[in-house]
Amino acid sequence: MNNSNDFAELQALWVSKGANTVSTPQKPEAMSSITDRLRKFQSFQDKINRIKLIALILIITTTMPTALMASNTLYTIAGLALIVAGTAIFFGYYLRNQFKMSKLPFGKPTNEFINAALALLTKQNAIFKSPFVLFSVALGIGANLLVWPMLENEVMLERIQIHLFISGMIAASTTIGYLIRLWRIRNEVYPIMDELVKIKESL
């Protein structure tokens, strides 16, 4: 049996259970609608994640050889290692804490299903708090270590200015990424969570 059939059976099971727990005939339709929204939400996220993964691989595989050819000192290696390790750890954490339909308890009562869905969405929203800050710091330190040996012949004031510029660029780019994520949470995640809460309150 393929995944789409598995999902359809699980959704039908949950809707039927929901129909037994509420008195109004509109509730099964509402529950079916919210599972469709969750499925579309995950599908869209999966597409974005595939694009991010391809972009990361391309950036890392093109940047590392160039940086090592320019300078293969301990500072350069340490900077690259910190950037790659920080990116890999954060992206792994990011993927592990993404909302997944497969984590939902379709065979459980409606209340438990809704609570689980809300918990998963809340957990995903938390990715861009402390973990993202630590990732941003790792990128900043790694980038500054990367250029450190290339600035050895520069006067101190110029070195400081370049390091500040690099740190500012990292801070600006990660801040933009964070703001985009907040926008997506407000426009994509919160409406789904609001609908889940409304269904829960109507039970």
Q: What is the pLDDT along the chain (203 residues), one digit of tens a residue?
A: 454 455 455 555 554 544 444 333 345 677 788 889 999 999 999 999 999 889 888 888 887 777 777 677 888 889 989 999 999 999 999 999 999 998 988 888 888 889 999 999 999 999 888 889 999 999 999 999 988 888 888 888 888 899 999 999 999 999 999 999 999 999 999 999 999 999 888 87
Write out the two tokens for 156.
Answer: 């101190």
Structure confidence at residue 190 (pLDDT): 94
For residue 10, the model assigns a pLDDT of 52
Alpha-carbon span 60 to 83, nearest angstrom: 9
| Global pTM value | 0.74
Tell me the domain boundaries of the chain: 3-202
- Cα(95)–Cα(134) distance, integer angstroms: 16
Question: Measuring CA to CA, how many Å separate 99 from each of 45, 67, 138?
Answer: 9, 36, 25
Considering only CA atoms, which of 166, 142, 13 is closest in space to residue 89? 142
Structural contact between residues 18 and 31, judged by C-beta atoms closer than 8 angstroms: yes
* Residue-level pLDDT at 150: 81
Question: Between the CA atoms of 147, 148, 151 and 154, what dihedral angle is there, to the nearest 10 degrees?
Answer: 140
Any idea which residue has 């727990």 for tokens? 21
Nearest Cα residue to 152 out of 82, 71, 83: 71
Q: How many residues does the chain have?
A: 203
Supply the angle between the helices 130-147 and 74-96 in degrees, to the nearest 10: 160
Q: Are 44 and 101 in contact (CB under 8 A)?
A: no
